[in-house]
Amino acid sequence: MATATLGNLTAIIALLITVATAASDAPPGTGYTNHTVGGAAGWFFNGTANTSATNYSSWAGSLAFNLGDFLIFNTNSNTTVIQTYNDTTYLSCTMDDAEDDDTTQYNGGSTQFGDKMTVAVPLTIEGPNYYFSDANDGVQCQQGMAFEIQVKHGLGLPPSLNQPPPPPYIEPPGPDSVQSPPVSISQNGAIRGGANVGGVLCALLTVSVLF
């Protein structure tokens, strides 16, 4: 009886090792996911009750997030969608002191108060990502419109998101910055290079007076 029990135990251990090995060799996922923030509740704030539409931290805690996924904010222009990688900015519920390279505000293109809009935010940085609404001077964030997620590597970024950022914009030179072409005088005294003839003659006359 003891021998049979030991044999069964050995078989179970071997089976567990096989399953664990297969799981470790399996790909991290089969595709990318669009996560609707807050589920059916969306990304809204009840100004009358002074509360968020749902518990966004609980919603985020129930899901897994990977590079290349999208967060879909079904919301309106009464709120804001701010993404930051800075926990200090997140805890302050404002982006007033945020750095340009770690905090972004998204909008749906609406300029009217109360318009419905959908904001899609790609997950492009692995690790902690923070989201909040700083509308009403940060009150919405303080009253629950904020959540943190941990973004894992998953399949990595798709080609559409794995591109370097465009170069910074450089303002073209204005009319006042146009410089005159260089002046060159050959050994025989001929003027070249499209120079200002009057200016060159004045300079030559000045030199001749001095001598």
Which residues in the chain are classed under CATH 2.60.40.420?
A: 27-152
pLDDT of residue 162: 87
What is the phi-psi region of residue 108: left when phi exceeds 0, alpha when psi lies from -120 to 50, beta otherwise? alpha
Q: What is the mean pLDDT of the chain?
A: 79
Q: With helix as H, strand as E and coil as C, how does the chain read?
A: CHHHHHHHHHHHHHHHHHHHHHHHHCCCCCCCCEEECCHHHCCCEECCCCEECCCHHHHHHCCCEECCCEEEEEEECCCCEEEECCHHHHHHCCCCCCCCCCEEEECCCCCCCCCEEEEEEECCCCEEEEEECCCCCCHHHHCCCEEEEEEECCCCCCCCCCCCCCCCCCCCCCHHHCCCCCCEECCCCCEECCCCHHHHHHHHHHHHHHC
Is the pLDDT score of 45 beyond 90? yes
The pLDDT tens digits of the residues spanning 83-137 come to 999 999 999 999 998 988 999 999 866 667 789 999 999 999 999 999 999 999 9
2.60.120.10, 3.40.50.300, 2.60.120.260, 2.60.40.420: CATH of 27-152: 2.60.40.420
Is the pLDDT score of 185 beyond 80? no
Which of residues 175 and 97 earns the better pLDDT score?
Answer: 97
- If you average pLDDT over residues 28-37, what whole number do you get? 85
The pLDDT tens digits of the residues spanning 198-208 come to 554 454 445 44
Is the pLDDT score of 8 beyond 90? no
